[in-house]
Chain A
Amino acid sequence: MNTPENNPLPMMADGIASAADSQLLFTHEDLERAEDRSRVVAARAESGLFSRFRLLWLLIGPGILVMLGENDGPSMINYAATGARFGVGFFIPFIILTFVMAVVVQEMTVRLGAATHRGHAELIFSRFGPFWGWFSLIDLAVGNFLTLIAEFIAIRAGLAFFGVPAWVAIPGAVLVLFLAVLSHRYWTWERITLAFAAVNLVFVPLALAAKPDWNSVGRALVTWGPLPGGITSAALLIILSNIGATVTPWMIFFQQSATVDKGLTRRDIRFGRIDTLLGATLAAGAAIAVVLVTAPLMHLRMSVENFQAAEFANALEPVIGHVGAALFSLGMIEAGLVAAITISASTAYAFGEVARKPHSLNLRMKEGRPFYSVLCLCVVAAAAVVLIPGLPLVYVVLMVNVVAVLAMPPALLFLYMLANDQEIMGDLVSPRWANMLAAGVVVLLIGAGLLFGVSVLAPGVFASWAHP
């Protein structure tokens, strides 16, 4: 339980012992959340190993969802292109590094959500004012919309392998997404989405079926190489896309809002960290598995551009068989679907926080009409764009992760400033080591972005770095 000493938020200064003792108004949303929290309180009161596991089961969710959600359609497409273009080498340890960066960033959102019980967009607007708030919200909305389009492209490509036409695949995916939300209960929504997200791990057995050269994997982990062709514009684009496949602004907004909606408190932060670490480990495993599966396709010179339909899955059939290729397609459908669910939720949360409208997955439809309307609207709009024939959507798939990396430094600065804000964080402000790691992530992101800029504007610079 919070005490006035360790929580500096205004409510706590009143010295109120608990919500039940207060004369505050409460809503249906509060009751649903309180019901979830009472199970946590009960599990915490018990001792023994089983109770510890039960507590972990009750408290995990946002971290795993955000990490497996970020193993989304464009990210998996990007990992597939990475394996097919560069094989086993530099990118295996590099993917691990990007997930370490993701853990550093996402841990701050757990602390912020648990300490303030407010979403990220709301904190930016409240603490820095609407001028900076709108900038960050527009960054989020644009990035999320482009990513949602890419998710539906991935779903379309995955279902194309099974012969499902786009006009059936896309509305079907929208329907599944709406069904997940219809429970009007955060807990149910979270568990349904987690069940979907577990399918992301299908890539791991596929990687084993592809019989990778484990000596090469071991060598890559030790030497960070090879990088076929050296540092070229193409390699830099893939490097940037790999970072954008793991560290993006929507993750910050989503995990903090989900932490608040789930009702995590200061006492739960340790479990929030475990949740994030567990999610990152699972997601990194799946990401590396995709690289290992597609590495045998190096001779085909395939790229992200080969992903409008089911080319990757078809090309993989000789390597992992028809069932394997079908599972690969299933993994792609899952990647797009889970990300569409989480990304649309992050947009709706942010809108509700800024517009000061009710924003929770615990809301009934009547109470949360604006929240659910935004969620549905962005999904339907992105789905509709994918159904328009003749649009050059390959550029969205190619660039969506790059745009995410470029938008990260401003988003990270807000996160950094909030996590170091003594007035709202109290004793949970970021320790020095966390600040140093966060600063390192920002420097790396800006450096990668600038190198990409140079490679586009002056491609000749990298010609001398390339080797045959």
Chain B
Amino acid sequence: MAGSEISINRPGASDGGILAALEPDQLTGAKHQRLPRRRLKGSEILLLWSLRVYLLFMIGVVVYQVWTSSR
């Protein structure tokens, strides 16, 4: 994530004091580490798909509403 665009440093004596105010996992470098993926349960996948279908259907309703009121 940091890449070459960011100026990356190691804590020096002057920075050490102020950096103590941060928790280790607040540092940008610590966030390079991805959190592990979670295994979704069947019921969760079903719920996610149901809400996805609900959203798509309702967006269709909104488009229909706009279409009818614009005529």
Contact = CB atoms under 8 A, between A and B. Distances in A.
A402 B26 contact: no
Say which size band chain A's interface belongs to: 35 or more
Nearest to B41: A417
Given A19-B27, A24-B24, A31-B19, 16 more contacts: A18-B23, A19-B22, A19-B26, A20-B16, A20-B20, A27-B2, A27-B6, A35-B21, A117-B26, A126-B35, A358-B1, A367-B6, A399-B62, A409-B54, A409-B55, A413-B51
B25 A409 contact: no
Given A399-B66, A413-B47, A449-B54, A25 B29 contact: yes
Interface in B31-65: 31, 33-38, 40, 44, 47-48, 51-52, 54-55, 57-59, 61-62, 64-65
- The CB with the most chain B CB atoms within 10 A, among A24, A369, A453, is that of A24
A105 to B, nearest CB: 15
Interface string B3-32: 101111111000111111111111111110
B48 A132 contact: yes
Interface size class of B (residues with CB under 8 A): 35 or more
A20 B2 contact: no
Interface of B: 1-3, 5-11, 15-31, 33-38, 40, 44, 47-48, 51-52, 54-55, 57-59, 61-62, 64-66, 68-70
B55 A456 contact: no
Interface string A356-395: 1110000000110100000000000000000000001001
A34 interface: yes
Interface of A: 1-2, 7, 9-12, 14, 16, 18-31, 33-35, 37-38, 40-41, 116-118, 123, 126-129, 132, 135, 139, 263, 265, 356-358, 366-367, 369, 392, 395, 398-399, 402-403, 406-407, 409-410, 413, 417, 421, 423-424, 446, 449, 452-453, 456-457
